[in-house]
Amino acid sequence: MNGLVIKNTGSWYLVRTDDGRNIECKVKGNFRLKGIRSTNPVSVGDRVVIIENNEGTALITEIEDRKNYIIRRSSNLSKQSHIIAANIDLCFLIVTINHPVTSTVFIDRFLASAEAYRVPVNLIFNKADIYTEEETEYMNALIEMYDYIGYPGMKISVLQNIGLDALQEKIRGKVTLFSGHSGVGKSTLINALIPDTKLRTGAISDYHGKGMHTTTFSEMIELPHGGFIIDTPGIKGFGTVDMDRNEIFHFFPDIFSFSKDCRFNNCIHINEPGCAVREAAEKHYISESRYKSYLNMMDEDISEKYRK
């Protein structure tokens, strides 16, 4: 029997079968994904094959081929990975300029990983109503920069109903992943988009400060007009997985576009002579923050978990 994994609680998976039933499932013993050392071999969004038992539960015996997935280094086990979600039509990375701060290093790491695994990403700049004039100018500059690179951004305020209708249209009929730090307002936003969901949110004071983890497991939430939102726990840092140091620039479209003009084919754009990427960064054709994020990833010791 085939079905879709719609919830992962850590020990159980809830699978919606093709005939419309929801069945609690365990993973068959010694289940491993080829070539991936993962803390969760089965992910929300996976299409799976299950075998029912007499207790009304089932075993997941097989995962159908994925069209894509997004993955990060496990926060507890540095040499293992955690698959956030699979088979995604669109991902929204929810960021906040303040309350809490989302760094450009975090954004760029997320975007690079999404590029590596063929996941299209848009950016949501949430809580747009509470920023100072200076913070608003910075937000607008980031939206312009990322939009130019190829990552569309939109301003959202749940309290002032800014951008919600446009967002509803973007997610209609799609499987959409919402991700970001704890406290960026993800659960509040999903509650506004799907009022019957009633996801637990942080205290009201958290809207202006740092948020707490309010989502504790990954879940697919059905949209009234077709499609799903994949809600996931907030993430602190984004450690990348299995990226060859010589290929990281491939996952920065703005850097990659200049790399073809480098003097050497094996240039890694740090201190080589005739590097077109460094020249572009010096002339601000590549933003300083993006180039710094690239260097940050190049400097990372892959034996250490990402702690920023």
Domain assignments of the chain as residue spans, ordered by start: 2-63, 83-231, 248-299
Choose among 91, 93, 38: nearest CA to 238.
Answer: 93
CATH 1.10.40.50 fits 248-299, yes or no: yes
Is CATH 3.40.190.10 the right assignment for the domain spanning 2-63? no
* Whether the domain at 83-231 and the domain at 248-299 fall into the same CATH topology: no
- Residue written as token pair 């690239």: 294
Round to whole Å and give the CA distance between 301 and 308.
13
Determine the pLDDT at residue 207: 46
pTM of the model: 0.86
pLDDT for the residue 235: 77
What is the C-alpha to C-alpha distance for residues 199 and 193, in angstroms, rounded to an integer? Answer: 11
Asked if omega into 253 is within 30° of 0 (cis), the reply is: no
Please list the rounded mean pLDDT of every run of 10 residues in the chain (308 residues).
92 92 86 60 93 91 92 60 90 96 94 93 97 97 97 97 96 96 92 79 46 65 92 71 82 96 94 96 96 91 41
Nearest C-alpha neighbor of 308 from the set 102, 77, 82, 116:
102
Q: Which CATH superfamily is domain 83-231 in?
A: P-loop containing nucleotide triphosphate hydrolases (3.40.50.300)
Per-residue pLDDT at 38: 63
Q: Residue 292: name the closest of 97, 105, 101 by CA.
A: 105
